[in-house]
Structure 1
């Protein structure tokens, strides 16, 4: 009898494991900050001994792409390096925008993977920054002539073109949007988490589109502006990062009222929305779970112990009320530099006392 019960228990355990392993992945797009690759080891160049297309294929393989993404990466010699550039662009911007926050966009593989398994607003901004970085990098690569399948944007679509001459080399957002949508694809899974992830991915692309500006240059005799040469230009990615950071701060919670990150029930926030509301109507970032506090070491962050802070600005928030240590140090830097005839710069060495504030344990 005991052996029979053990057999039944073993079968149930096995069935549960199989069911869990067969669950669809929660996200709707995998690349960049939402991908599986370790971001710290991606090269921005390839070994000199590996010429194209061998180097191109190796770089595509290192990115750990899905089958369709790998095919798109390999078909154009300019794509692989642009994908790496997109990862670097979005990662650096994320860390810059969150450098003064408890969650400082730590992209260490374990913490990042844990966050991506949940529906936090940090997850939302990772999806948005990832798609924005990819859209921005592809559009810029087209106009820079680094892609074989695209070139400058040549479609002005201006209302009054009588005195306009389209020229220059615009960033090709049209091709970029088509590429990114095809590259990231759509998942058949239409559960709440998948829909939220896809929505946040599209928010990143929409912010890029909203930041496109028309730049013009005048041509004419004696400085007159009888003809203008105009082209489209994307906003600097720092501006995109600022917009997405603002969207992160105002992110809207949808779905469940339960705080699954802490395991505590709680009332729905004032701006919470129902499952049925179409996500396409809002440009806000969406999340489905409350974030952990990131104060202590956890699956989601290394905590804030020993984190550097700025007294009078963010020490109280970052240190989570534990207080901070103050350490004085003396720095020596070049100063009072002057250019000497003909070809060198002469500087003095200045010392400066500086106080460093770090969070207590």
Structure 2
């Protein structure tokens, strides 16, 4: 994942993990003016004051103002887990409240540390948003009761209420990926190729973090019957602790794949489809898996 260093570090959404999201400003309209919808007023007050967001992220914030606090919590979880996992290493995930890019120059390098940061903060947003849904703290989502009451061939049935991972993943994909999807706008032809690789790499690592949370979802069951005989079980799916997610990502960090730009040749009438490939010629035939960093 080693690429050339580029320009100075830019502010980004991870800064919310350091400063948090304050309470919305109270609106006091002048006499004779129409009252603005309270939810819209809150969204405008909250989202307009947040540092480091691109236009698409502000749009998501305006549509889901309550969820942005979970984004802040998720970024904080990612930062704290990064600091824990690297606590005994030379680079220990140092941050600065005065630095809106949070990690400074490290985010502008295509390094294994960069890959870990993108993956762990993306995973943090999934974890925090999903948890907020299941706890009933968000109005736009709840826990996942889709399979509740359904029986299985194994003799147990779905019960309780599973963690709504799909909502968390979809929201994180929409919010966290937004800066990468617009990053190539306005670049010169000279810089476009290198940034194209970086953008795809960052998006890949964002997704890798989300996939780790999904892969660690586990079944939790409760027995029913006389004297705990477990004649009937009700089960639901629950998320892992975030420290488990961090452990897996650190393991992937140690096995990180260095990549370069590759091309899958299409038909004569279509252009080749670009993809990431391993930089090492000896292992280039091995595909870069979704979960790799």
Whether TM-score is above 0.5 comes out as: yes
Alignment equivalent of 1:180, drawn from 154, 167, 172: 172
Counterpart position of 1:97: 85
Trace 1:1-361 onto structure 2 (pairs within 5 A). 31-32=13-14, 37=15, 39-43=17-21, 45-46=22-23, 53=39, 54-60=41-47, 61-108=49-96, 109=99, 112-156=103-147, 160-161=152-153, 163-183=155-175, 184-185=177-178, 187=181, 189=184, 191-255=196-260, 272-273=279-280, 280-285=288-293
Deviation at 1:214, TM superposition (A): 0.8
Flag the 1:282–1:87 CA change in 2: closer, same or farther, 3 A: closer
Relative distance call for 1:70 and 1:166 in structure 2 (3 A) is same
Q: TM-score, normalised by structure 1?
A: 0.58
CA distance in 2, matches of 1:162, 1:250: 38
Report Cα offsets for 1:219-254 as digits up to 9, x if no partner. 122222222121111100001111111111221222
Cα distance change on mapping 1:70 and 1:111 into 2, 3 Å: closer
Aligned pair in 2 of structure 1 residues 236, 123: CA closer, same or farther (>3 Å)?
A: same
In the alignment, the residues of structure 1 paired with residue 158 and residue 142 of structure 2 have an alpha-carbon distance, to the nearest angstrom, of 15
Conserved? CA contact 1:252–1:273, under 8 Å: no
Instruction: Give the number of the structure whose alpha-carbon radius of gyration is greater.
Output: 1
CA RMSD, aligned part only?
A: 3.4
Structure with higher helix content: 2
Post-superposition offset of 1:283: 2.3
Kept after mapping to 2: 8 A contact 1:251/1:284: yes
1:94 Cα deviation after fit: 0.8
Q: Tell me how many residue pairs correspond in the alignment.
A: 242
Contact 1:199 1:279 in 2 (8 A): no
Higher relative contact order (CA 8 A, sep 6+): 2
Is contact 2:123–2:212 with CA below 8 Å preserved after alignment? yes
Report the structure, 1 or 2, having the larger strand content: 1
Unmatched 5+ stretches in structure 1: 1-22, 257-270, 286-361
* Correspondence for 2:271: none
Cα 1:24/1:226, change in 2 over 3 Å: farther
Q: Which residue of 2 aligns with 1:11?
A: none
